[in-house]
Amino acid sequence: MGNALQNQVDHIANLINTGDWTNGMTTEDFDSEEEFEEANTPWAWLSGVLDIEWIVSSDRKTFLGASLLVSFGGPNIWVNTRSGRVDGSWWGESASALLVNDNELQQACEELFGC
């Protein structure tokens, strides 16, 4: 699973780093341009996240980041906006990738935390 796990982690990091919130889908994959624009946002991507663990300061009010569970049960993959990493694990193996451009996702998480 080693290469496959690293490939999955890298794929998720690449989607976030490039702002490809529709996982490679284009306007032709949607009924309209408007539908594509609505789907191609970090907010829409967050709607598919399986769990969110908030990372806050000791005052319990100041948002610092979020850990987002995007896959579980084989492998488990988390996106951590505080550390700027995507981490995956499967049967004792692990893989990680850096997020170099997660500002949109971090902003969306902070807005969601504030709701």
pLDDT 10s digits, 8-64: 999 999 999 999 999 999 999 999 999 999 999 999 999 999 999 999 999 999 999
Say if residue 75 is preceded by a cis peptide, omega within 30 of 0.
yes
- In the sheet that 76-80 helps form, which strands lie side by side, from edge to edge? 51-56, 63-71, 76-80, 85-90, 93-98
Q: Binning pLDDT at 50, 70 and 90, where does residue 2 land?
A: low
Report field, pTM of the whole predicted structure over 0.85: yes
